Structure 1
Amino acid sequence: MLRINNLVKTFDGERRRRRDSKTPSAQEARVFAVNDVSFTVENGQLFTLLGPSGCGKTTTLRSIAGLERPDSGSIEVADRVLFSADEGQKQVNVPANERGLGMVFQSYAIWPHMSVFDNVAFPLQVRKRGERLGRKEISERVMRVLETMELGHLAERQATKLSGGQQQRLALARALVIEPPLLLLDEPLSNLDAKLRESLRYELKRVQRELGITSVYVTHDQVEALALSNAIAVMRNGSVVQLGRPRDIYENPNCRFVAEFIGTSNFLTGNVVAKDGDRYTVNTIDGRLALDSAMTLPLGTDVIVSVRPEAVEVSTTSRAGEVPNEWKGTVLTRAYLGDSLDHVVGVGKHELRTRGNPSTSIEPGTEVYLRMDPAKLVLVPVD
């Protein structure tokens, strides 16, 4: 289990002078890369830190690894304190090479002069003398991990003669061979082409689940995060803005940033005009929408309705009176995506994207009707 409590990490920023002072402000001279981040990763979970560049996810990972020293907070792995800088407590900062964690970098970082076998065996061979395994046990453990990663038949090959996907699996095997209590992965698939990245995504998920190894994964790829994770922390400006299961975060974003960053959404601004239990009625510039939400908002509250493209049904026939949330519009453009087809429909001052079966293709200029299921619309507070 990993526990992160109130982690803070700052860096020197641009030193600016206040208008009323000749010296720079101490606050202005520091930039918060990680700002009071807390979360827990349960045993066997694959936990993903997701967010855009500069949001603090890699700094958080490097702090766990011991490659960055936070300003304050604590890091605990398997009931062992690796870092603590809280006031009134003993200061702890275990060096990176003594934390016993596995890490896979974006750049693979394999040793080009070694064979596949020697790359994986190296972390075991350089252990302290009292912790070092025998030659036979090292060989057995290395081959067991290589077979798991489907690299056993390449054990004697030079590492530089592997393909990109094989090199990434080699880097993963080297991290796993020490049987770490925690595996850290820093955008390990970002250097691969799209097809190989998708293939290794499922390979990584299979290995992680089979071994039951607790893992923290850093990525800016929301599809990757949704496919791999047991839990996701979405980060922005050094802080965690939402934490939860992939489905919950996708279907119930708690703010516009999360809804925009994870997947594609249409955003409709409006005002709450009625409420009956969990059923809200929101008045927008182009019509009313009925939707279900567990949020508690008074009448008159300004809100944003997030509508995923796949939650919008498009049809050339009307069912007015039979179903709620039917709007009339005109197809502006369409895009064939292979496994789906998008239509962009103009409705008053809005342009709404829909996503459906590729067998349904409607020509631009056609008058259509959009229907939105109240259970699939999400109420988002105005920031």
Structure 2
Amino acid sequence: MLRINNLVKSYDGEQRRRSRTARAEPDRVYAVNDVTFDVADGELFTLLGPSGCGKTTTLRSIAGLERPDSGTIEVGGRVLFAGRGPGKEPGKGPGRPVNVPANERGLGMVFQSYAIWPHMTVFDNVAFPLQVRRRATRPGKKEINQKVMQVLATMELADLAGRQATKLSGGQQQRLALARALVIEPPLLLLDEPLSNLDAKLRESLRYELKRLQRELGITSVYVTHDQTEALVLSTSIAVMRGGNVVQLGRPREIYENPNSRFVAEFIGTSNFISGVVEAKDGSSYSIRTDDGPLVLDASSDIPVGGEVVVSIRPEAVEVGLTSRAGEVPNEWTGKVLTRAFLGEAVDHVVTVGRHEIRARGNPSVSIAADTEVYVRLDPAKLALVPVD
């Protein structure tokens, strides 16, 4: 459905003189640096990363609100953007640039601010994209009414069709913005952090509502967020971005359980990190030597014996107990509880083990006081190896 190839977008940076006689020229700042990915029909594909990583610039380039330096953007086989390739002259053969204007791309977009028109009713907000179409493609009044009421019913806003848009709640405004994007029946829906302005409880409920709607309607979507929980809940696939590059691409569970770098492991959830060296390897089974003791684990990584690694340990992979199970289970270390925190659905313990402070997350029925000597067990199947950056 969506194909992005070698997309590059840069801006002028600071002015720097190369020599005393040379003219000051700006360095280039790459907001998007050679990004490539495909989105299949019906997928909800998420661009995830910290502020300034290039995710919104990528989305705006797809929408036609930014003009990339180079690369190609295709939706459903239709080329929306094609920059000039190396050595190609504009207007000559296959190197001819293409840049379809944003209003001719036919894509739906929901912005972070919703951009609801306050002087219009709910109905008029949704009808507007259809009413301003060119005369040749503009539906009749009866068809517009039918389409608008159908999409409002899907968003559970049909009873509010005559209400002023400013008299809606935050969640209703978010659904109204989504209805306005969907009424044109776009081949691709673009969502730029649409839930970030909502309170935490409403944001959580609307995540599942968005997931349900996207699956029921089967609309191919590209979603931008810096919220890793949101990305894990909503996405079919995730592209983690950093410094204008896609650093890992995969399914949510794959990225969470097998991060390919310390950056990804830190950004996707919470992790404990322990440095070590590969002491032995047998297929996917690894024996790691660390300063605080040996670790055994299963990993799909391809790191040779003697290679330096970082073991990524999710808090839920750590079990804390008052009695030893040495000989029954591997990876048991001794430690002392530093602090604990009740989270409602879980309890976090921070345990000092040698030079490390390891966070463990477990059942709320288990709560161990600070300064208690404990045994820490690390599940070999839930540990991941990442190379040293």
- TM tier relative to shorter chain: over 0.9
Matched position secondary structure for 2:128:
helix
1:74·1:86 contact (CA, 8 Å) conserved in 2? Answer: no
Q: 1:270–1:24: structure 2 CA closer, same or farther, 3 Å change rule?
A: farther
Q: Which runs of 5+ in 2 are unaligned?
A: 89-94
User: 1:90 is matched with which residue: 89, 93, 96?
Assistant: 96
Match of 2:15 in 1: 15
User: 1:68 is matched with which residue: 66, 69, 89?
Assistant: 66
Matches within 5 A, 1:1-383: 1-18=1-18, 20-21=19-20, 23=22, 26=25, 29-87=27-85, 88=88, 89-383=95-389
Deviation at 1:297, TM superposition (A): 1.8
Structure-1-length-normalised TM-score: 0.98
1:61·1:186 contact (CA, 8 Å) conserved in 2? Answer: yes
Deviation at 1:326, TM superposition (A): 0.3
> In 2, Cα distance between the equivalents of 1:361 and 1:22?
70
Amino acid at match of 2:162: E
Question: Alpha carbon RMSD of aligned pairs, Å?
Answer: 1.0
Give percent identity, aligned residues only.
76
How many equivalent residue pairs? 381
Q: 1:216–1:25: structure 2 CA closer, same or farther, 3 Å change rule?
A: farther
> In 1, Cα distance between the equivalents of 2:121 and 2:388?
56
Deviation at 1:86, TM superposition (A): 3.5
CA deviation vs aligned residue, 1:314-355 (integer Å, no higher than 9, x gap): 100001111110000000000011111000000111110000
> In 1, Cα distance between the equivalents of 2:84 and 2:31?
18
Structure-2-length-normalised TM-score: 0.96
> In 1, Cα distance between the equivalents of 2:350 and 2:373?
12
> In 2, Cα distance between the equivalents of 1:16 and 1:353?
46
Amino acid at match of 2:271: S
Q: Which moved more, 1:196-205 or 1:225-234?
A: 196-205
> In 2, Cα distance between the equivalents of 1:34 and 1:317?
52
> In 1, Cα distance between the equivalents of 2:23 and 2:272?
43
Deviation at 1:29, TM superposition (A): 1.6
> In 2, Cα distance between the equivalents of 1:31 and 1:22?
24
CA deviation vs aligned residue, 1:145-191 (integer Å, no higher than 9, x gap): 00100000000000011011111110000000000000000000000
CA deviation vs aligned residue, 1:29-81 (integer Å, no higher than 9, x gap): 21000000000000000000000000000000000000000000000001100
1:15·1:24 contact (CA, 8 Å) conserved in 2? Answer: no
Deviation at 1:21, TM superposition (A): 4.4
Deviation at 1:22, TM superposition (A): 5.1
Matched position secondary structure for 1:141:
helix
> In 2, Cα distance between the equivalents of 1:216 and 1:296?
32
Q: Which runs of 5+ in 1 are unaligned?
A: none
Amino acid at match of 1:50: L
Deviation at 1:24, TM superposition (A): 6.4
1:271·1:303 contact (CA, 8 Å) conserved in 2? Answer: yes
> In 2, Cα distance between the equivalents of 1:175 and 1:125?
14
> In 2, Cα distance between the equivalents of 1:94 and 1:133?
23
